[in-house]
Structure 1
Amino acid sequence: MARNMIFELMLAGLAVLAVWLIFFRDDDNPVDKLPGPPRRPWIGNAWELLQMPADKFLDVLVDYTNKYGDRYVFKVFSLRVLHISGPPDVETVLSHSKNIKKSAPYDFLKGWLGSGLLLSTGLHWHKRRKILTPTFHFNILKNFANVIEEKTQDLVKMLKEKNGADVSLMPTISDFTLFTICETAMGTKLDDDQTSATVDYKNAILNIGLQMLCRISRFWLHNDFIFNNSSRGKEFAKTLEVARSFADNVIMDRKAQRAQNKGEAIADVTDGIGTKRRLAMLDLLLEAEEKGEIDMDGIRDEVNTFMFEGHDTTALALTFGLMLIADHEEVQKQGEKSMTNLPNLHDIGESRNEKRKSLDQSEESISENDFITVTRRKTKVRIRSDLFDIPTTEINMQNEEVEEENYVICITSSQCLPKQMAMAKLLRTNNHRNITKIKYKSPFKVLVQFETLEDAEKLNNCPKFRELGYRCEKTNKKNICFGIVRGVDLELKEEEIMEILESSAKILDVKRLKRTNSEGKWVESETIRIRFMSTSLPDYIYAYEERIYEECQTILGDSEHVTMSNLSDMKYLEAVIKEILRLYPSVPFIGREITEDFKLGDLLVKKGTTVDVHIYELHRRADMFPEPEKFMPERFLGTEMKHPYAYVPFSAGPRNCIGQRFAMQEMKTTLSELVRHFKIVPKVKGARPRVMVDLVLRPVDPIYFYCFEYKVENFMYTKSRMIINKIVFFQLTLVAHNFLNECEKRKQIPFYSKMTSND
């Protein structure tokens, strides 16, 4: 009896010790010094986590970021969760080669995704990544193009049948992406009689996300044994069975096709040029199984992973994207103007002599002082136009101060101007009087102030100064800003460039600068100078720009099919998609469990800490993206990011999204076709749904839109019809001409010559 009591006491003691070690041990940790919501003794923020409603979870975390900054700590018992949203911190975490293990909540999905690419780590992850990387090779994506286009045409046909009725976006687009991923990566076409199965599968995915979120907020359900035996765990098991059975059917169908075809369509053959033909994902996995590199459970894990990630994330991106495009009509059709971002001005901090020295060593000897090209950091921009397409350009800017006078003429020259006495003599010789002040800004620039406007105008129009190559301009505003744009087509005249540019600041003029060639002669360069009337440079300059509809029509021309080359040329559409993913990243958070101590700046992050990367808040930082809540695709038209990790919709580093090129291909094809065929209109202008996060970023409220088919002929039909009309007109004219000649030969009068106008 005594022995049994001692044994029971020992077991109880061990249980208490285990609970203490897991939940209540509180070692010193450097991250505890960071701000965060107030922590209670022993339990930390477990109570706050329990109180968070599922549909408010994202809102609470965004509020914490706004309140506590780029780094804050959320503590649950002894577990520290470090939340980060600053680009340098994001770069450190995502680019780390050792800390690639997913955080603990991802383990809740192991019953569904097993050891697939999303959840695996270490050597197992490296091995699977190596097997699957060829799946998204360029040649494979080219083979997918026809399937994606076919599915897109089915979507267009279905929307046409709606006849302008409102459409619920998420279920419609989710069907499209699920059918597309099955027929491309899985090689299995879902028949129409499988509609109920697809609905069950999509509902299962939604329920899995909600159940996972519920489990995260209830810490006692983190234990597998407790969860599996709870009512929620049993419901979760039923949901998993639906998702797994759908994927199993896809695998079995493909295996049956392989057996039926006896490997003819998917055998290990060459592609005709001596290179081993690349296989789609499921075929590649089944081939690996035959070689003993993966078992059936591994195939099931990867298929479940890619079925989920390949359809749900893309469906959500397209849903949010169509919502934004519908709400911004100017993005669909001709918007006339696009914005080219100019970098913010910084003090160059160089003396005039240093500027002159750098000028002498520069490739283009620009002789207009005070806007000399002194580059600290080059910024690439692209200016597109319906008149011209400027290649990637460099913009450099400089400010100058001009005294506020009523009658001031600014004289500039590419050569050194006469010095004070010589300039005074030149002015007197040409009968320029009533001068109150002459101020030298540099050897290349002089300000001359007059008493009257008439005297100022006289110098401004002086033919002698023009003969000498001096440029005279009236200056009567206090601040003038200059921007220099490189890479502008030499065929464009200054007047043409002036016509297509616009800015929030008044553009006074555009001047093409000169450079010295190899022979030392002055020739026109591809650099233009833009002069603004403003106290500071504007944030944007504008040029005529094609929007999605015009871009697609211009690129596709008479072709009815979209090729990979066509998609790569759709730069504006790509910018639209990037802006969609900035505002609504499909995966708003990425979690890492730290397996090796590392430094986050000056902060030591210990092993066992969880780090959550907040992509949603990262993409809405005002210092990285001005006016962050505004939908502005022009941000991505050629401008460099202020930080390489300020925009990571597909993650980054070693665990970046393996299917991102496939996702971009699918989104480009879908959006280009929809915008070509329909005018997309929101059901409620300016409406935005509440969003929540489970496995992905998801709208809480349904999103509706209208698709109105264009009744006018599209570009391709109109163009072809014009050609046909010209041919028909030519043929009719030729027939009439031959008929009249034949009549003339026979001396006969054409019968129609006797017809009256009434006939």
Structure 2
Amino acid sequence: MLFYIVLIVCLLAILCVCDWFSRDSRLMRQIPGPTAWPIIGNVLTYLAPPDKMFLVMRNLHKEYGPITQVHAMQIRYVSVCEPNDLELVMSSSEYVTKADAYKFAAPWLGDSLLLCTGKKWHQRRKLLTKAFHFNILKKFMVTFKQHTQQFVKQVEEEILKEKTDVKALVGPAALRVISETAMGTSLTDDRVAFQKYFDSILFLGEAIITRLSKVWLHNDFIFNLSKFGKTQKSVLTELHGFTNKVIKNRRNFLDETDFKQDDNDSDSYDNNEKMALLDLLLKNERQGVINNEVIREEVDTFMFEGYDTTTIALSFFLMAIANEPAIQDKIYAELQQVMGHSQELPTMEELNDMKYLECCIKESLRLYPSVPFIGRKVTKEIVLSGYTVPVNTSCFIMIYDLHRRADLYPDPEKFDPDRFLPDNILKRHVYAYLPFSAGLRNCIGQKFAMLEMKMILSGLLRRFHVEPVTKPSDIVYRADIILRTVEPMYARFRLRR
């Protein structure tokens, strides 16, 4: 027994010495961060429940500055929120590989556009970009209008209530829009099915953050034996079953209607059909370019990103604008100026003329970015904020912290749409605002999302005044891959007189 104890002590001592004198470890210790211990480093910093973890992540930058680190042996994370550093990482083709933590989403999203890298990423990006061509977005305007009208009718049912859960209100609308536009599939208003879908996504986000913060769960074998791992397996069976059903139904529909894309000119978008993203994937399946697994990965990814991020963005916007009556009145004045007395929903040209509404959306996304952080893998040594970051380090770009830097945005907690007037934008670093990421891996659907949000919000705010219930100061966040709150956000809706 004594022999084994001595052996373990000796092995630990050797590990400590190797770690201490390792060049990579020495470089990491030079970067500001919490006090580190031998072998375990300072990863215990991340041992906190989700609602506390969000504050832990914020306090790191408040205490240590624009670059911080957390590490333990071969686990190395740096977090950055300095625009010059972000430009170095995000504008370079050297750093398009996602951080290792993204592999925790692989059981859900596979090797989709969000997660893949290298040649595969370039091929997928080129293929999927066609589904978000400007002329395709114009054809989706009919769908945007249809579901905005349906959404407005749902809001009418809320006008006698003293408070409405804004996320529960906008979520089904966002899910219907992404389903019909990108997937070519109409979803019914099955609230039970919708809630189940939302709960599944919520759980998967929590599982990913839990694995990221608890290093022993990085191992797939250990994670699969855990309660989170077993529940995740069940949840994924449900989610993938839903996705495969969507794909199967669309494939059968296209077969029955003998659907044909213009194979003579694959870049032509002048036909009368809406080229749904799923249609594009199925077309490439017929040509042998991809298989059903690839289709499922991309459908899961775009259903999640197109629904969840837009729902969060709209929810925070409504909460924020409810607390800004003067700004809300200015939005309404602009809508009246652009639309006049027309009872129709706006055209794409009219949406483009809603400059102040767009400034308000951008300011809401500054304060409440749907994706609060993203990660890249440092595949080549890089110097950030004067510190050398070793190769194979995960670099987390802290968008939430970046957007609330007082030196970039004076009085950063204030909701001020004028920050996004053209002259003010030019005064800031181009990488000081990243709600849709930036560089080579910027969000492929950002124009789609902006059009959708402007349509829904213009339709809503022309008819209703939004009154405050939840205040920004009431919000308690929880750590997740999407910006989430511990409690629902509420507002009141009243008809305009």
Q: Verify the 8 A CA contact 1:26 1:78 in the aligned structure 2.
A: no
Q: Verify the 8 A CA contact 1:289 1:295 in the aligned structure 2.
A: yes
TM alignment of 1:565-644, pairs within 5 A:
565-600=349-384, 602-638=386-422, 639=424, 640-644=426-430
- Using a 3 Å threshold, how does the CA distance of structure 1 residues 89 and 559 change in structure 2: closer, same or farther? same
- Using a 3 Å threshold, how does the CA distance of structure 1 residues 174 and 26 change in structure 2: closer, same or farther? farther
Partner SS for 1:63: helix
**Corresponding residue number in structure 1 for 2:116:** 120
**Corresponding residue number in structure 2 for 1:374:** none
**Corresponding residue number in structure 2 for 1:145:** 141
TM-score by length of 1: 0.61
Q: CA deviation at 1:269?
A: 7.7
**Corresponding residue number in structure 1 for 2:476:** 690
Q: Verify the 8 A CA contact 1:578 1:633 in the aligned structure 2.
A: yes
Q: CA deviation at 1:671?
A: 1.1
Counterpart CA distance in 1 for 2:472 and 2:383 is: 44
**Corresponding residue number in structure 1 for 2:192:** 196
TM alignment of 1:389-468, pairs within 5 A:
none
- Using a 3 Å threshold, how does the CA distance of structure 1 residues 197 and 20 change in structure 2: closer, same or farther? farther
**Corresponding residue number in structure 1 for 2:104:** 108
Q: CA deviation at 1:146?
A: 1.2
Q: CA deviation at 1:164?
A: 2.5
Partner SS for 2:415: coil
Counterpart CA distance in 2 for 1:159 and 1:602 is: 52
Q: CA deviation at 1:327?
A: 0.7
Counterpart CA distance in 1 for 2:381 and 2:172 is: 44
One-letter amino acid of the structure 2 residue matched with residue 636 of structure 1 = F
Partner SS for 1:214: helix
TM alignment of 1:169-188, pairs within 5 A:
169-188=166-185
Counterpart CA distance in 2 for 1:678 and 1:297 is: 44
**Corresponding residue number in structure 2 for 1:327:** 323
Is 1:27 equivalent to 2:22 in the alignment? Answer: yes
Counterpart CA distance in 2 for 1:176 and 1:26 is: 56
Is 1:73 equivalent to 2:69 in the alignment? Answer: yes
**Corresponding residue number in structure 2 for 1:220:** 216
Counterpart CA distance in 2 for 1:189 and 1:291 is: 26
- Using a 3 Å threshold, how does the CA distance of structure 1 residues 28 and 328 change in structure 2: closer, same or farther? same
Partner SS for 2:238: helix
Q: Deviations 1:719-743 (Å, cap 9, x if unpaired)?
A: xxxxxxxxxxxxxxxxxxxxxxxxx
Pick one of 40, 44, 47 that aligns with 2:41. Answer: 44
Is 1:674 equivalent to 2:460 in the alignment? Answer: yes
Q: CA deviation at 1:263?
A: 0.8
One-letter amino acid of the structure 2 residue matched with residue 261 of structure 1 = T
Is 1:705 equivalent to 2:491 in the alignment? Answer: yes
Counterpart CA distance in 2 for 1:564 and 1:630 is: 30
Counterpart CA distance in 2 for 1:574 and 1:247 is: 33
Counterpart CA distance in 1 for 2:41 and 2:294 is: 39
Q: CA deviation at 1:86?
A: 0.9
**Corresponding residue number in structure 1 for 2:304:** 308
Partner SS for 1:98: helix
Q: Deviations 1:115-150 (Å, cap 9, x if unpaired)?
A: 001110111111100100111111111111111111
Q: Verify the 8 A CA contact 1:324 1:580 in the aligned structure 2.
A: yes
- Using a 3 Å threshold, how does the CA distance of structure 1 residues 120 and 641 change in structure 2: closer, same or farther? farther
One-letter amino acid of the structure 2 residue matched with residue 60 of structure 1 = V
Higher Cα radius of gyration = 1
- Using a 3 Å threshold, how does the CA distance of structure 1 residues 662 and 112 change in structure 2: closer, same or farther? same
- Using a 3 Å threshold, how does the CA distance of structure 1 residues 24 and 197 change in structure 2: closer, same or farther? farther
**Corresponding residue number in structure 2 for 1:662:** 448
Q: CA deviation at 1:587?
A: 0.8
Is 1:555 equivalent to 2:341 in the alignment? Answer: no
**Corresponding residue number in structure 1 for 2:89:** 93
- Using a 3 Å threshold, how does the CA distance of structure 1 residues 114 and 168 change in structure 2: closer, same or farther? same
Counterpart CA distance in 2 for 1:62 and 1:84 is: 12
Pick one of 436, 444, 450 that aligns with 1:650. Answer: 436
Counterpart CA distance in 2 for 1:131 and 1:596 is: 28
Partner SS for 1:705: strand
Q: CA deviation at 1:649?
A: 0.7
Counterpart CA distance in 2 for 1:39 and 1:45 is: 4
Q: Verify the 8 A CA contact 2:20 2:38 in the aligned structure 1.
A: no
One-letter amino acid of the structure 1 residue matched with residue 283 of structure 2 = E
Deviates more, 1:557-566 or 1:86-95: 557-566
Q: CA deviation at 1:77?
A: 2.9
Q: Verify the 8 A CA contact 2:136 2:269 in the aligned structure 1.
A: no
- Using a 3 Å threshold, how does the CA distance of structure 1 residues 249 and 617 change in structure 2: closer, same or farther? same
Q: CA deviation at 1:205?
A: 0.2
One-letter amino acid of the structure 2 residue matched with residue 124 of structure 1 = K
Q: Verify the 8 A CA contact 2:319 2:471 in the aligned structure 1.
A: no
Q: Verify the 8 A CA contact 1:135 1:278 in the aligned structure 2.
A: no
Unaligned runs of 5+ in 2: none
Counterpart CA distance in 2 for 1:104 and 1:592 is: 8
Partner SS for 2:68: strand
TM alignment of 1:2-21, pairs within 5 A:
none
Pick one of 558, 564, 581 that aligns with 2:348. Answer: 564
Counterpart CA distance in 1 for 2:241 and 2:15 is: 41
Is 1:209 equivalent to 2:205 in the alignment? Answer: yes
Counterpart CA distance in 2 for 1:598 and 1:47 is: 26
Q: Verify the 8 A CA contact 1:72 1:83 in the aligned structure 2.
A: yes
List 4+ stretches of structure 1 deviating above 6 A: none
TM-score by length of 2: 0.92
Counterpart CA distance in 1 for 2:224 and 2:164 is: 39
Unaligned runs of 5+ in 1: 1-8, 334-546, 713-759
Task: Decide which structure has greater helix share.
Answer: 2
One-letter amino acid of the structure 2 residue matched with residue 237 of structure 1 = K
Q: Verify the 8 A CA contact 1:37 1:45 in the aligned structure 2.
A: yes
* Cα RMSD for the two superposed structures: 2.4
- Using a 3 Å threshold, how does the CA distance of structure 1 residues 146 and 317 change in structure 2: closer, same or farther? same
Pick one of 281, 284, 298 that aligns with 2:294. Answer: 298
Q: Verify the 8 A CA contact 2:30 2:387 in the aligned structure 1.
A: no
Q: Deviations 1:190-235 (Å, cap 9, x if unpaired)?
A: 123x432222111100011111112222211111112112232111
Q: Deviations 1:345-372 (Å, cap 9, x if unpaired)?
A: xxxxxxxxxxxxxxxxxxxxxxxxxxxx
One-letter amino acid of the structure 2 residue matched with residue 182 of structure 1 = S
- Using a 3 Å threshold, how does the CA distance of structure 1 residues 26 and 693 change in structure 2: closer, same or farther? farther
Partner SS for 2:23: coil
Counterpart CA distance in 2 for 1:295 and 1:323 is: 42
Q: Verify the 8 A CA contact 1:25 1:78 in the aligned structure 2.
A: no
Pick one of 152, 159, 181 that aligns with 1:156. Answer: 152
Q: Verify the 8 A CA contact 2:91 2:438 in the aligned structure 1.
A: yes
Q: Verify the 8 A CA contact 2:109 2:298 in the aligned structure 1.
A: yes
Q: CA deviation at 1:20?
A: 5.8
One-letter amino acid of the structure 1 residue matched with residue 255 of structure 2 = A
Partner SS for 2:140: helix
Pick one of 235, 239, 242 that aligns with 2:238. Answer: 242
Q: Verify the 8 A CA contact 1:200 1:242 in the aligned structure 2.
A: no
Q: Verify the 8 A CA contact 2:139 2:274 in the aligned structure 1.
A: no
One-letter amino acid of the structure 2 residue matched with residue 554 of structure 1 = Q
Q: CA deviation at 1:623?
A: 0.9
Deviates more, 1:273-282 or 1:633-642: 273-282
Is 1:84 equivalent to 2:53 in the alignment? Answer: no
Deviates more, 1:599-608 or 1:60-69: 599-608
Counterpart CA distance in 1 for 2:276 and 2:84 is: 37
